[in-house]
Amino acid sequence: MATPLIFDTDPGVDDAQAIAIALAHPEIELLGMTTTYGNVDIDTATTNALLLAELANQRIPVAQGAAAPLIKLKHPAPAHIHGDNGLGNHPLPVPSHRAETISAPQFIVEQVNARPGEVTLVAVGPLGNLATALQLDPGIVDRVKQVVVMGGSIREGGNVTPVAEANIFNDPHAAARVLTAGWPLTLVGLDATHRCVLGPAQMDKIAAAQGKLGDVLAGSYAFYRAFYRTALDIDGCCPHDSCALAWLMRPELFTTARGHLNVVTDGDAEGQTLFAPQERTFIDPRWARTPLVDVCMNADGEAIVDWIVETLTR
Ligand code: RIB
Ligand code: CA
């Protein structure tokens, strides 16, 4: 049976690649996309989600969500990484469909409650929508099947500050609620995603197989690749958000550890994810206070990129 899934996203170049996977994978039943600000403003995120589904000739519900962080002030969108339109400034048509009339958090609550124990939430942007869904109905903690979050960093260091990964940094207060809510959760952070580099030859194969959607994936990739070359001296890009789906479908490609997570919400280390492995005892009981979760510590990057290409070219 296919996995019923809600994809919470801020598309975003690497989000677009992951959306293509969610639309294409035969073992994923995409119930809907919920959008958040992050790589782009919220209206652009919603437009992009609608458009990406249409380019794949699919009609998927899209519910618009968070326009800003819960508490902190919003940072400007990273147009130098994802382009002004979130998709590398690739020229885009206007989608013909509109978003749902209910909000992203309401959509999450409704879908989870409609199918108790079945729905997986995959979140690849700042975590305001999941945090608000928890506030609307705390009972979803026991009714969701599992939650997979692309975000954070345990040993790898940060990508927007020396210690913080972008999705967690963008809304650390929301992340603190979501990562410590007590639902079955796996964190797929930079320790895994930085092991993966999707190269230009691999993107060419994807573009050739994905029709109109492929043109947008390739055009936006070209912009994203230029950023990676300048910033990290990598020829290719890290497909961060696709890794969350790779973990779901191919967990054996990742090394995970179980333990307690915390998120720093203020100060110089805001957005840092702190992990205390289950088997270690520390000097202070505070490190065991939060619920147990799984975090990715490493990954077989080559095999994950092969899986992405295979999924998008079959
Ligand atoms: O740090 C990587 C994450 O930040 C990804 O979700 C990417 O889309 C950006 O939002
Ligand atoms: Ca994202």
**Averaged pLDDT, groups of 10, the chain, 314 residues long:** 97 98 98 98 98 98 98 96 97 97 98 98 99 98 98 98 98 98 98 98 98 98 95 94 98 98 98 97 94 98 98 96
**pTM of full prediction above 0.95:** yes
pLDDT at 161: 98
Nearest to 273 by CA among 170, 185, 167, 153: 153
Q: Which atom of ligand 1 is nearest to the CA of 150?
A: 6
Active site residue 294: no
Query: Which of 15, 42, 217, 245 has most ligand 1 atoms within 8 Å of its beta carbon, as the pocket-test mutant?
Result: 15
Quote the crossing angle between the two packed helices 13-24 and 301-313, to the nearest 10°: 60
Backbone phi, psi, residue 8, to 5°:
-100, 120
> Do residues 220 and 17 lie in contact, with contact meaning Cβ atoms separated by under 8 Å?
no
In whole angstroms, give the CA distance from residue 94 to residue 113: 33
Q: Which residues contact ligand 1 via a Cβ below 6 A?
A: 10, 12, 14-15, 38-39, 124-125, 150, 159, 165-167, 240-241
**Residue 171, CA atoms < 13 Å, CB-side half-sphere:** 26
| Catalytic residue, candidates 8, 10, 14, 294 | 10
pLDDT at 1: 87
Distance of CA 231 to the CA centre of its chain: 21
In whole angstroms, give the CA distance from residue 275 to residue 294: 10
pLDDT at 22: 98
Buried b (16+ CB within 10 A) or exposed e, 60-80: bbbbbbbebbbebeeeebbee
Homologous superfamily of domain range 3-255+297-313:
Ribonucleoside hydrolase-like (3.90.245.10)
Distance of CA 289 to the CA centre of its chain: 26
Sequence-distant contacts of 74-79: CB under 8 A, at least 24 apart: 74/37, 74/170, 75/170, 77/37, 77/38, 77/39, 77/40, 77/41, 78/39, 78/166
In whole angstroms, give the CA distance from residue 28 to residue 21: 9
In whole angstroms, give the CA distance from residue 154 to residue 137: 30
